[in-house]
Structure 1
């Protein structure tokens, strides 16, 4: 059975820093590979909306927050270690 659960991810960045750009590129790639058509990535630039950091208790950037499915999970950094990100978000690799 295919899990049709929708994933809501929020990526907190601070401007277009190399780590922020890399984090967005990496999470987009992983989602396309493992959650095709079942994900939303909301990018929040804390230089433009610093008050939004408080809601998810963001202390470092970039930070990826998994809002849905619960429980909420956070991963800090440029998300370049795919295995660590998938385990951290509890995404099971797609098996054909």
Structure 2
């Protein structure tokens, strides 16, 4: 199984309840399914609005999986674990 490091970016707009919930949910999933094999970058678009353009961010919060390719995006607070795991294609990890 490929052991590359996953690169994830979470785009938020300030310390809103929805943004904080998305971050907490994401950290929980990553620790459970990608422990020691992920990099998480949180980008606050209130601080760096120009960074939204690169990943074509249209809604907040948005999670972008940069690596492994292809790039995948999930919009929302990430509270639906199954949707997040399927969306990121994490289903099979940790079950080998």
* Structure 2 length-normalised TM: 0.95
- 2:94 paired residue number: 94
CA deviations on 1:33-77 (whole Å, 9 max, x unpaired) are 000100011000000000000000000000000000000000000
Alignment of 1:58 onto 2:57? yes
Q: Distance in 2 between matches of 1:71 and 1:62?
A: 20
Structure 1 alignment gaps of length 5 or more: none
- Which TM-score applies when normalising by structure 1? 0.95
The total of aligned residue pairs comes to 95
Report how far residue 19 of structure 1 moved.
Answer: 0.5
Pairwise CA RMSD of aligned residues? 1.1
Counterparts of 1:1-96 in structure 2, within 5 Å, are 2-92=1-91, 93-95=93-95
